[in-house]
Chains A and B, each alone.
Chain A
Amino acid sequence: MEVAEALLTLGVAGASECQTLSAEALKRAYLKKVRVHPPERDPQGFQRVREAYELLRAFEVTSAGVRGSAHFVPGATSSTESEAPAPERKTEKNERSATAKEPDPDSSAFERLQQALTAQQYEAAANALIEIYGAATLTSRRPTPHVVLSLVTRQFIVGAQDLGRRLFLAFETDMALINSPLNARLAASWKLLAELVLLSGQAPPAVIRALASAIQSGDFEEATETLRTELDGRGVHTRVELESSLQAAAPILFKAAWPANRGVSPKQQRHNETWGRRVLFLMVVLVSSFMYIVETSSPRRASKPHAAAASPSNLGALSAEQAKELDSVTKKVEKVVRFSRCNQMRAVWKDYTSVVRRLKGRELVMQGYEKLRVNAGTTCPQVSSELPESP
């Protein structure tokens, strides 16, 4: 488990809180989650929560000293800040404002930011911030990162994806300029937002909105529901496509909103309960998350989302028309499978293969074909011999 995932698990990923999470607040967040996943009834869920807590608690000890840097001065007291109760933070802020004496080159943008935050006009605040970053030099003062990150999250929650993306990129560029280290929790929060930004070019807006709220609130129920609606409304091909693009662009968010066992039938879930399976699953998760850590452990890595977002989705590579056509034939086959109308299978399968044949060679299309073929063959064994392995 990595820090970003742990933050999500305990529901403390909200950027406004990440800098000021005291040991007690962390413990309370953990215990709240324990109530949702009591060891007695949900041992696996409990172990996940416990692991997240132990990880974050370790950071509490090791990185307590690494907070912000001299570059950051407290921006306006935002409404988001007043939500997080942490007495010790006030003293810390006072110290910092005492040390920040440097005159501000563009105080008007700062004032506007302050006013906008006080008036809870987040759009104006974001614009003011972008302006500040645009004019910033190495030595000019900056608002603290958690104000920025929480503003980015807010933009995504209200659906202002473009503004959110722009703000995030401005912040990232600025971080590269001042080359200042973020503390572990802030960095993890940043990584989650990077996932969200990357995803915003590919996933449906509803999903993005739900995920952003989940980051803020720590409650993934709604995000899961949105994903389920989104995924269930699709044919196997676009479903596979969305799933893989989510997985590739936002592995941590996807895992939090769509745990591997969520799509599994209750029967199979019971089967999974056996220890051997459970452990095997854990190992796979461990190994894969380890690989992910290795892949993304360099902080620079997180600053690439714009590059990736700009390139066309290598997974889809279908035009809108092609996708629509594929979806409609796929849905027909799925309907037949769902109601076991095996006498109609031959006809719909013929239509289906003719479309797939045209798109042959695309890996994802073939994945979907294979899935559907197996499903159809199991439902209607009498025609299974007529469903070739390759269209």
Chain B
Amino acid sequence: MNELYVGIDLGTTYSLVSVMVDGEPRVIKNGLGELLTPSAVHVTEDGTVLVGGAARAKAATAPNRTALSFKRDMGTDRRFQLGGRSFTPEELSALVLQALKQDVEAEFGRPISEAVVTVPAYFGELQRRATRTACELAGIPVERIINEPTAAALAYSLHEKQRELCAAVLDLGGGTFDVTVLQIMEGVVEIQASAGDLRLGGDDFASGLVQRCQFVLKRDYGIEALTDAGQARLGEACELAKRRLSFEEQTRIAVPALPTASGPRDVELSITRAEFEEACLPLLSRMTQVVERALRDANREPRQIDEVLLVGGATRMPCVVRLSSQLFARLPLRVLPPDEAVAMGAAIQVALKKGDSAVGDLVVTDIAPFTLGVASGSHRGSALVQGLFSPIIERGTVLPVSRVERFITLAANQTRLLIEVYQGEHSLCAQNQKLGQYELTGIPAGPAGTEAIDVRFTYDMNGVLDVDTTICSTGETDLFTVESVPGRLSKKAIAEARARLKRLKFHPREALPNVTALARADALYVELTGGDRAVLGECITELRVALEQQGASAIEVSRERLLRLICELDRRG
């Protein structure tokens, strides 16, 4: 077997790559021996690019040179300024993908032949395209993009295909929340509904905690405002505190020399789980809404759900588990490692697509996550209303699908028709996302309403939307594929961006463990005081000296010692 098929979970906070090995999906470790690669990019002082763990660790010490959570900005025009360089979200994602690519290719010693990448179910067409662009920039051949909850469901179904059941998958990742309702029957996995919130994830729970802390800081310390660096340090501390609160009832957040608007201050505060959960109530009620929408789309009652699956690292929070138990009146399952399920599902999907015998008899039907339609107008009395959204493929339609709608001319002697393709759920086009347009000409002239045009949408499993039109009276047909959207990079632009990424200076891959260890130590050093700080400082110096002298064994010894120390200090909180 010379082909290498991989599944990639490009997450908001972490990214993973998975491969089918002996009929089982396996997540591949990165150069640091970790399964999760943080989705973070950092540009050092000398212009070298760091990706993954090292970059994540730098976020605390050099926030203005580090980009995090850029997945949330996929498909937008936002640009990240890192150390004098400007990056698009696609380029940053491409850097992360490139790191994953190197890891998996180093493991198997051959290039990736095809990959399946996951996106949140509620990613629109633009964000999906941006994801494709990122893969193209990273040089990963991707034909299929699948929904994260579908992938999680797949990972689950591989083991449960003998059973007949109806399940809900709740996927709370770093930045997004998705709910999928699926049914397994007669050995077919049927995705029945997907709903999601693009801006609701573990990061938002951390933000809730930050807000709470700011309130306490203002009340107890009189601190009005923090500098950017202060925000980043507090954010880091809260992220860690949030994780501790999953296991502890109460935790201490201590930030020495927190940079505030009026100079550095040592702060220390204590927060209970109840206080944290109170701060997150609005987030939990938004989650409830999403679950309800998914159930409504699937036409099911909560009691008709046989199993609830929790996926995504943020579902470790007790309040999320409690919410799901309350909504479905049953304890959720956690048969799969919550961080890895999506990547595993992506690997299963690529195997499925390639007809791998290990998953040979698994059949999946997926649905369109949003409504697709065209802009139309209508006469209301004497007024002409335009910009109305006429759906052609409704959300929840099983894919692949081909649907046709008939439209008639609005004006007398109308010989042209502008077909504007939109995606969204609003009745007005202006509120929906425009995907493309096409001008149909050659309609025979005549009174208004006499000429009919059939518009057929064909949407395949790869997310390619074909629009073809037929002028009914002449039988003339025309076909166009929606892809020329503003914002979408042309082939030339992609080539340029690739060249630009190539020119970036990277740390050699084998040096990454050292760089990462140092970055983590530096980040921790800032947080410490007293004796711990001195011990850590000594260890850091030792590693730096070993690196200077380039003694391979000495470097390894001092790095391991440093990592052990970091681990220990982290545990102490």
- Residues A40 and B352 in contact, CB atoms below 8 Å apart: yes
Is B458's beta carbon under 8 Å from chain A?
yes
- Residues A38 and B363 in contact, CB atoms below 8 Å apart: yes
Tell me, rounded to whole Å, the shortest Cβ–Cβ distance linking A281 to chain B: 11
Indicate whether A43 sits within 8 Å of B460 (C-beta atoms), given known contacts A34-B363, A38-B363, A279-B479: yes
Tell me, rounded to whole Å, the shortest Cβ–Cβ distance linking A54 to chain B: 9
Measured between beta carbons, the chain B residues less than 8 angstroms from A28 are 185-186
Measured between beta carbons, the chain B residues less than 8 angstroms from A39 are 363-366, 398-400, 461
Is B358's beta carbon under 8 Å from chain A?
no
Tell me, rounded to whole Å, the shortest Cβ–Cβ distance linking B186 to chain A: 4
Q: Which size class do A's interface residues fall under?
A: 20 to 34
Indicate whether A43 sits within 8 Å of B461 (C-beta atoms), given known contacts A28-B185, A35-B186: yes
Is A32's beta carbon under 8 Å from chain B?
yes
Chain A contacts with B in 237-287, Cβ cutoff 8 A:
275-276, 279-280, 282-283
Measured between beta carbons, the chain B residues less than 8 angstroms from A160 are none
Measured between beta carbons, the chain A residues less than 8 angstroms from B458 are 275, 279
Tell me, rounded to whole Å, the shortest Cβ–Cβ distance linking B368 to chain A: 13
Chain A contacts with B in 29-78, Cβ cutoff 8 A:
31-32, 34-35, 38-41, 43, 46-47, 50
Complex CA distance for A280 and B469, rounded to whole angstroms: 11
Complex CA distance for A23 and B188, rounded to whole angstroms: 17
- Residues A279 and B363 in contact, CB atoms below 8 Å apart: no
Complex CA distance for A53 and B188, rounded to whole angstroms: 15
- Residues A47 and B401 in contact, CB atoms below 8 Å apart: yes
Indicate whether A47 sits within 8 Å of B186 (C-beta atoms), given known contacts A38-B363, A275-B458, A279-B468: no
Question: CB within 8 A of B479: which of A32, A35, A275?
Answer: A275
Is B91's beta carbon under 8 Å from chain A?
no
B452-496: CB near A (< 8 Å → 1, else 0) gives 000010101100001010100000010100000000000000000
- Residues B363 and A276 in contact, CB atoms below 8 Å apart: no
Tell me, rounded to whole Å, the shortest Cβ–Cβ distance linking B298 to chain A: 14
Is A112's beta carbon under 8 Å from chain B?
no
Measured between beta carbons, the chain A residues less than 8 angstroms from B337 are none
- Residues A47 and B400 in contact, CB atoms below 8 Å apart: yes
- Residues A47 and B402 in contact, CB atoms below 8 Å apart: yes
The A interface is mostly helix, strand or loop, or mixed, namely helix
| B interface residues, tally (CB under 8 Å) | 27
Tell me, rounded to whole Å, the shortest Cβ–Cβ distance linking A391 to chain B: 34
Is A27's beta carbon under 8 Å from chain B?
yes
- Residues A283 and B470 in contact, CB atoms below 8 Å apart: yes
Measured between beta carbons, the chain B residues less than 8 angstroms from A27 are 185
Measured between beta carbons, the chain A residues less than 8 angstroms from B366 are 39
Beta-carbon nearest neighbor of A32 in chain B: B186
- Residues A43 and B185 in contact, CB atoms below 8 Å apart: no
B375-401: CB near A (< 8 Å → 1, else 0) gives 000000000000000000000001111
Chain A contacts with B in 64-123, Cβ cutoff 8 A:
none
Is B355's beta carbon under 8 Å from chain A?
yes
- Residues A40 and B353 in contact, CB atoms below 8 Å apart: yes
Measured between beta carbons, the chain B residues less than 8 angstroms from A32 are 186
Is B187's beta carbon under 8 Å from chain A?
yes
Complex CA distance for A90 and B399, rounded to whole angstroms: 37
Measured between beta carbons, the chain B residues less than 8 angstroms from A280 are 477
- Residues A282 and B402 in contact, CB atoms below 8 Å apart: yes
Is B190's beta carbon under 8 Å from chain A?
yes
- Residues A41 and B355 in contact, CB atoms below 8 Å apart: yes
- Residues B185 and A31 in contact, CB atoms below 8 Å apart: yes
A1-43: CB near B (< 8 Å → 1, else 0) gives 0000000000000000000000000011001101100111101
Beta-carbon nearest neighbor of B475 in chain A: A283
Tell me, rounded to whole Å, the shortest Cβ–Cβ distance linking B154 to chain A: 12
Measured between beta carbons, the chain A residues less than 8 angstroms from B185 are 27-28, 31
Tell me, rounded to whole Å, the shortest Cβ–Cβ distance linking A52 to chain B: 13
Tell me, rounded to whole Å, the shortest Cβ–Cβ distance linking A82 to chain B: 22
Complex CA distance for A272 and B401, rounded to whole angstroms: 18
Question: CB within 8 A of A35: which of B363, B398, B466?
Answer: B363
- Residues A40 and B456 in contact, CB atoms below 8 Å apart: no
Question: Which residue, of A40, A47, A282, has the highest number of chain B Cβ atoms within 10 A?
Answer: A40
Beta-carbon nearest neighbor of B188 in chain A: A31
Tell me, rounded to whole Å, the shortest Cβ–Cβ distance linking A279 to chain B: 6
Complex CA distance for A31 and B400, rounded to whole angstroms: 15
- Residues A35 and B477 in contact, CB atoms below 8 Å apart: no
B148-160: CB near A (< 8 Å → 1, else 0) gives 0000000000000
Beta-carbon nearest neighbor of B468 in chain A: A279
- Residues A276 and B188 in contact, CB atoms below 8 Å apart: no
Indicate whether A35 sits within 8 Å of B400 (C-beta atoms), given known contacts A40-B461, A43-B461, A275-B466: no
- Residues B398 and A50 in contact, CB atoms below 8 Å apart: yes
Measured between beta carbons, the chain B residues less than 8 angstroms from A282 are 402
Complex CA distance for A38 and B186, rounded to whole angstroms: 13
Measured between beta carbons, the chain B residues less than 8 angstroms from A40 are 352-353, 363-364, 461
Measured between beta carbons, the chain B residues less than 8 angstroms from A47 are 400-402
Complex CA distance for A276 and B401, rounded to whole angstroms: 15
Measured between beta carbons, the chain B residues less than 8 angstroms from A41 are 355
A sample of 29 cross-chain residue pairs with beta-carbon separation below 8 angstroms, ordered by A number, consists of A28-B185, A31-B185, A31-B187, A34-B188, A34-B365, A35-B187, A35-B188, A35-B361, A38-B363, A39-B363, A39-B364, A39-B461, A40-B352, A40-B353, A40-B363, A40-B364, A40-B461, A41-B355, A43-B400, A43-B461, A46-B365, A50-B401, A275-B479, A276-B477, A279-B458, A279-B468, A280-B477, A282-B402, A283-B470
7 nearest A-B residue pairs (beta carbon): A31-B186, A38-B363, A31-B188, A43-B400, A34-B188, A275-B466, A35-B363
A47-B402, A279-B402, A282-B402 given; name 4 further pairs at CB < 8 Å.
Answer: A32-B186, A34-B365, A275-B466, A279-B477
